[in-house]
Structure 1
């Protein structure tokens, strides 16, 4: 079952953006890794699938680009979507696939120019994460922690 967030307005043609994201906790499981953009918005690390790329390969590439870390993916959390309007007032559906993962070793500096790795407290995640389905994935990930 796909979890849905946001308000779907009938008659609007939404553009779908498929993305793959990681839920990565610190060792105490009281913080989650996020990527903060220049506007101060927090997202789970990850992003859009490129042509002919698997979800796992996408996640490995995106985390490396955004954080400089290699990642070990443990299990699939689930699929959730959010209806929203972009900053340019475009109607979008963020169709997210979420995985529980750990970072392993830093192999390079992040190459995304306006993305900054930031660990946020779990109790602040609902307010900090810009997308509701990212917060849903954090809650679901806590239930699957190994």
Structure 2
């Protein structure tokens, strides 16, 4: 399943492909809080990196945990105006999984990892497409 958010303007966009893990633990989901807002755990794919390798690296950097990727959930993209990048086109793929064991401290000092219930985080993600991905997880996986 793939969904497009935002309206594409007649402008030059900066495309950024990223992958994100939606870690589930019981009735809680792991998210990262920064000064900009709430985000899923993950980020941009580096050259030569697979989706799984990117998720493993980003999880270690942002949370200090070793990640286990269970499977792909969906993908989305949005067209938006970023305050420092300008016209921004993030293309994101979302995976469901778990955070297994703490292996280090977070390398991202401005990232606070939190376990929250869906009711606590619903509608509060920085990107609308990440809210949509969370909604899918809780409709398709967590309510079974």
User: What TM-score comes out, normalization by structure 1 length?
Assistant: 0.90
Unaligned runs of 5+ in 2: none
**Aligned pairs, number:** 142
Contact 2:2 2:75 in 1 (8 A): yes
Contact 2:29 2:118 in 1 (8 A): yes
Query: Would you say 1:22 and 2:55 are equivalent positions?
Result: no
Give 1:144's aligned residue: 141
Secondary structure of the 2:122 match is helix
What displacement does 1:110 show? 0.3
Q: Is the 8 A contact 1:126 1:132 kept in 2?
A: no
Q: Following the alignment from structure 1 to structure 2, what is the Cα–Cα distance between the partners of residues 83 and 120?
A: 28
CA contact 2:66–2:102 (8 Å) conserved in 1: yes
Q: What secondary structure does 1:127 align onto? A: coil
In the alignment, structure 1 residue 7 sits paired with structure 2 residue 3: no
Verify the 8 A CA contact 2:14 2:85 in the aligned structure 1. no
**RMSD over aligned Cα, in angstroms?**
1.6
Three-state SS of the structure 2 residue aligned to 1:128 is coil
The separation in 1 between residues aligned to 2:101 and 2:109, in whole angstroms, is: 21
Distance in 1 (CA, whole Å) between partners of 2:78 and 2:69 is: 23
Match of 1:72 among 54, 68, 76: 68
Runs of 4+ aligned structure 1 residues displaced above 3 Å come to none
More strand per residue: 2
Q: C-alpha displacement at 1:120, in angstroms?
A: 2.8
